[in-house]
Amino acid sequence: MNLHLNWNAFSDSTALFEVEISQEEGAFAKAKLLIDALAPLPKIGTEGILYIDANEILFKGVLESTPHKIVGHFAEIVLIAKPVDFLNQLNDIQKELRVHPFWDPLYIRPEKLNHVEERQDVRAASLYCDRRTGKLSLSDWFNGNQVIDMNGNFFEDSLQIKTIGKPLKACSLQVHAHWIQRQGGIANLSPAIRRAFPHYKVNTYTKDALQDKWPETGKRIGRSGVWIIKSKLRAVNPPSSLYPKYSPQLPLEDAKGLIKQHRLRRHWFKPTLWVCWQAHQKRKETITFTLNHNSYQGEGDHKQLEFRLQNINPDPKSYPWQPATMYRVGDKICQGSSYYRCHTAHTSSMTFDEKNWTFKKKFHTPIGSPARASFFLNDRGYKAFEHALERARVELIKSTRTLEISFEASWEDLKSITTDSSVRLKDPRLPKGEIKGKVVKYALLAKGETGELFGRVTLLCSKAQESIQKKATKPKPVYVLETYCEETYQVQENHLSQTPTGLQYYRYDDQTPPSIGQGNLLTGLELINGPLEQEADMRNHRTPSHLKKAMARKPTRLRLHFNDYRTKECIEHVIQCDVVGV
Amino acid sequence: MSFSATSWGFKPMRILPPSKITDGYEPSPPELNTEKGVLDIGSSSECDLIEESKLVAETLILRCTLRPIPYLNQDIKVRLISEGNPLEDVLLYDKGSLTYGYEREFEHSMVQGIALDYTGKGRGVQGGEAFVFEGADLKEGCIRCANPLYVKPFSVESQSYAERSTSLPSRQILISPPGVLNARILRGFGGYYKEGIKLEDIQQVYYSLTSVENKTRVRLFSSTVLHEQHTPAPQGGRDFNKQILFHPSPERHHYLSLSGALAEGFCSLLVEYEGSVTKFTSTFGEPIVGHPNLIDVYFKPI
């Protein structure tokens, strides 16, 4: 066997005195070469190819640096099997890797989302770069693409068997989503106000009581999140005699003691009162589950992992459209799930009018509507949960590789070994006399001085192979009867779902969060001293002055009670999901 | 030189760095709503107390046409029975039955009533401000009145009548009915109306019976004459040696002239406003110059 090194830059090959080719799982292969110290070296980064005999490529890599050390007539150089088109290959492979359920951008910081040189997916596989071809691919942790059947062809005394740690019996995950829930709306309260009065029209015997204190447009109702956007109280002269202008007759004594009939003027109004409300609430939703490794119950640890998702309700810089607001040209708003830019200065009315705006683009947020009270209950939330399941699964799988086996064998038997290889060994010292393991580390050594040619390999094996458990249950509808509504709206108990990798879990649609501000904006409307009460009271007085004083003490008042939109420190909601183990 | 035993453990160059669990998102506190929303609308306020009499017009002036209602019952006969001898009866409402002493035109004295028909036009004063109106709708409220607005009634003879005159041994003369001595009995004949006359001249005319050449004769008396001789209705009086008596005693709205009846509020109407009804009564009648059959009737609320 003849090993020689050819550089792309030179026509002559470089003589080699010692070769050590090594690789670890998830790393590039390296070739450490001992050459003549006086041999010319190309520039750093030049590709060199290590051949066996005439044309069998053993290694292809680039010169990493100037010689590491020079001792006597020899110099040590290192080649790295990193292909020149590594980034292109990586880019292509990352595109394939970043798919549901193995990848979820909510688990990655936004500024790193476009980093190609960062592994963001979660799989039971490592990146593998072939030392001979430079091809980048994924290599499964348990089954390499190449299976080398060594049987007993290894140096018997080199066999080492070691147990490293214990497989996890379970992995529990908590995934938290934090966001600001934004709710809001507008309401016309005029009809409700009218309904509070007799004759369904605002009327009173104390005119200024309402008119003086009718709220002005723009007024904020304390720090309740409610404010007035349109307001007016217009005095009207009802056209019909159904709406009396005066009270019933009131016999009152004048100064001379004469009884004279009097009446109180009844004032009628047309009310306009529109309000806008907005409630921002900090929310934290946690989904928690435990994935058991049923093959290893009673052994190992129970791993706990915790993740906090990225912003599921991004877009803090855009402003939601608001009614009764002055907009200038160039103002940007979001309405529904679209961005708009104002092209005509205007004051908005009560409803969004697209004619003043230029549509810019659509946007999607993981939460969907910013008013939603739950994230994990929507489709995107289920995807984030399924990704978390994958993370737990990978943790369990990784922990099962607890048997480390090392051995040495001849160069000839191992010259094709890579970290994308599985090796089958037979030996009475092995569990059950035979094992198949995945190569996680190897080295091929050729020593010119001694003529030694051999390989050294480390395998990782698991005692039991992964098997995904399956259950079959019949879901039970709990929202309405089975045929009553479309399936989309139904909520079911014992409803099993399955991730794309086959993991099963019970859907948790029924675990709804506490909501805020449910129901109508206006929760109560009190009419105090309405015209009928005033009429009842006005008959009890004998003189005009007494009557006037009494009415001054009994002005008509309206009290409107709004829904409770007070911000709580944080509304927390925990979803417990049951998962079928692996 | 050869590779040392450490070569097995040289630091590998990882294809990609190990991924780390990154911190997630923690939002900053949102805009706080700290209060429950309650909107109070209302403040102390005075009320508008109004005397009811000031709610409606202070004066209403309705333009009316005067329409005489002639008495058409021409067959009424009267007879005087003198000392037990019935004289020849005569038709009361026949010019041939009259005797001397009546200056007025006989043919204008047979009116049983004067109707005031509202023309649909009027004026008013409310809060010191004059206003005009048409029909029944006023500035505040509306008029409820009959049509005709008012009929000024006059007393007429509705059936044939006989009067007995008997000399007593005491030389006194008993007149019956009503059974009085030495009296002239006056009975309602009708009203006097002629286009263009003054309103106070639209008045009651009376008659009494007398005998001329053994025939019953009718003598008419205007209210003006009776007044001048101090024997006005209803109390009558003494004229020379005779007592003037009205039988039956006339009612007030009969013996008052049209202007008197209007001044006394015999003409009335109702104004309905805001569920209450105010009665207005006439205070005055004013003829319209150039329009002999039109008058303005003034009303005030009571």
Give per-residue pLDDT as tens, B196-220. 999 999 999 999 998 888 889 999 9
Q: B-chain residues within 8 Å CB-CB of A20?
A: 3, 7
Determine contact: B9 vs chain A, CB below 8 A: no
Residue in chain B nearest A116 by alpha carbon: B16
- Rounded to two decimals, the pTM is 0.68
Determine contact: B11 vs chain A, CB below 8 A: no
**Structure token digits, residue B165:** 């005159």
Q: What percent of chain B has pLDDT over 90?
A: 48
Q: B-chain residues within 8 Å CB-CB of A559?
A: 38-42
C-alpha closest to that of A438 among A463, A455, A421: A421
DSSP letter string, A430-465: SGGGEEEEEEEEEEEEEETTTTEEEEEEEEEE-SS-
For residue B230, being part of any structural domain is answered with yes
The alpha-carbon gap from A472 to the nearest alpha carbon of chain B, in Å, equals 34
For residue B159, being part of any structural domain is answered with yes
Residue in chain A nearest B23 by alpha carbon: A308
Per-residue confidence (pLDDT) for residue B4, from 0 to 100: 46
Query: Considering Cα of B230, then B235, then B239, then B245, what sign does the dihedral take?
Result: positive
For residue B4, being part of any structural domain is answered with no
Q: A-chain residues within 8 Å CB-CB of B5?
A: none
Q: Which residue has the higher pLDDT, A117 or A571?
A: A571
For residue B41, being part of any structural domain is answered with no
Per-residue confidence (pLDDT) for residue B101, from 0 to 100: 62
CB contact under 8 A, B13 and A28: yes
Q: What percent of chain B has pLDDT over 70?
A: 95
Average pLDDT, integer, range A93-120: 89
In the chain, the amino acid numbered A369 is S
Note the Cα A97 to chain centre separation in Å: 18
Instruction: Note down the domain range covering B268.
Output: 52-301
Which domains are seen in chain A, by residue range?
1-82+122-150+408-420+432-461 (2.30.300)
Average pLDDT, integer, range B162-177: 90
Per-residue confidence (pLDDT) for residue A273, from 0 to 100: 97
CB contact under 8 A, A555 and B37: no
Q: B-chain residues within 8 Å CB-CB of A214?
A: 41
ipTM over 0.95: no
Average per-residue pLDDT for chain A:
89
Determine contact: A208 vs chain B, CB below 8 A: yes
Position A473 pLDDT exceeds 80: no
**Pair A375, A179: CB distance under 8 Å:** yes
pLDDT band of residue A471 (cuts 50, 70, 90) is low
- Distance, in Å, from the CA atom of A12 to the CA atom of A6, rounded to the nearest integer, reads 7
Per-residue confidence (pLDDT) for residue A318, from 0 to 100: 63
pLDDT band of residue A474 (cuts 50, 70, 90) is low
Position A465 pLDDT exceeds 60: no
For residue B289, being part of any structural domain is answered with yes
B38-66 confidence digits (pLDDT tens): 999 988 888 889 887 777 888 999 999 99
For residue B24, being part of any structural domain is answered with no
C-alpha closest to that of B64 among B299, B252, B300, B301: B299
B119-169 confidence digits (pLDDT tens): 999 999 887 889 999 998 887 788 998 889 999 999 999 999 999 999 999
Per-residue confidence (pLDDT) for residue B7, from 0 to 100: 46
Per-residue confidence (pLDDT) for residue B276, from 0 to 100: 72
Determine the residue among B7, B23, B46, B49 to mutate to test chain A binding: the one whose Cβ has the most chain A Cβ atoms within 10 Å: B49
- Distance, in Å, from the CA atom of B171 to the CA atom of B182, rounded to the nearest integer, reads 10
Q: B-chain residues within 8 Å CB-CB of A209?
A: 42-45
Average pLDDT, integer, range A363-376: 86
Domain count, chain B: 1
Per-residue confidence (pLDDT) for residue B11, from 0 to 100: 73
Residue B277 bridge partners (DSSP): B272
Position A225 pLDDT exceeds 80: yes
Position B6 pLDDT exceeds 50: no
Position A448 pLDDT exceeds 90: no
DSSP code for A317: T
A64-75 confidence digits (pLDDT tens): 888 888 888 899
pLDDT band of residue A274 (cuts 50, 70, 90) is very high
- Distance, in Å, from the CA atom of A294 to the CA atom of A164, rounded to the nearest integer, reads 20
Half-sphere exposure of A34 (CA within 13 A, CB side): 19
- Distance, in Å, from the CA atom of B232 to the CA atom of B237, rounded to the nearest integer, reads 7
For residue B237, being part of any structural domain is answered with yes
* Most confident of the following: A151-155, A270-274, A333-337: A270-274
Q: B-chain residues within 8 Å CB-CB of A278?
A: 31
Q: A-chain residues within 8 Å CB-CB of B9?
A: none
Residue in chain B nearest A73 by alpha carbon: B1
Determine contact: B38 vs chain A, CB below 8 A: yes
A323-349 confidence digits (pLDDT tens): 888 888 888 888 877 888 999 999 888
In the chain, the amino acid numbered A110 is P
Average pLDDT, integer, range A43-50: 91
Per-residue confidence (pLDDT) for residue A271, from 0 to 100: 96
Position A567 pLDDT exceeds 80: yes
For residue B295, being part of any structural domain is answered with yes
Determine contact: B15 vs chain A, CB below 8 A: yes
Angle ∠(A5,A8,A11) on CA atoms, nearest 5: 75
Position B174 pLDDT exceeds 80: yes
Of chain B, the end-to-end C-alpha distance in Å amounts to 139
**Structure token digits, residue A190:** 């005029």
Average pLDDT, integer, range A555-562: 95
Position A319 pLDDT exceeds 80: no
Is residue A489 helix, strand or coil?
helix
- Distance, in Å, from the CA atom of A327 to the CA atom of B31, rounded to the nearest integer, reads 22
Cβ neighbourhood burial of A515 (10 Å; 0-12, 13-18, 19+): middle
